[in-house]
Amino acid sequence: MRHPIALALCLLAFLALAGCQPNEEPEVFTAPPETVGMPEDLRKVIYLELVDAQRRANTDADAQVPPHLMDQNSQLAGRLRDQYVAQVVQRNGVSDAQRSAIMKEGRARGW
């Protein structure tokens, strides 16, 4: 093994830069209060639908307005995103607070 001390120092520096501590306990995530009573599987499905709606809005905007026309493309993508997200929210019967909480939870859990 070459320079085990240097390797250990590099690993500790990497962990520090990544915001981790050696032997750190993983963060336990509890469901947000806005989603109490909503099964995790359903929250995950809604999260994935919302992410897909946002992705689809960008793709559809790019198909209608060339991306090099950034202002127009961005405005259309925003309108489509609002429309597609509203459809997901309505179809699943969730409030804006629940939608926001589900998005936060999904990002935190890496869904």
Query: CB count, 10 Å around CB of 78?
Result: 13
Q: How many domains does the chain have?
A: 1
- Calculate mean pLDDT across residues 28-41: 82
What is the predicted pLDDT for the residue at 65?
A: 96
Whether 13 is covered by a domain: the verdict is no
Give the per-residue pLDDT at 37: 86
Query: What's the token pair of residue 39?
Result: 């099964």
Q: Domain for residue 7, yes or no?
A: no
Q: How many CB atoms lie within 10 A of CB 106?
A: 17
Q: Is 24 part of a structural domain of the chain?
A: no
Average pLDDT (76-86) is: 98
pLDDT above 70 (res 11):
no
With cut-offs at 50, 70 and 90, classify the pLDDT of residue 22.
low
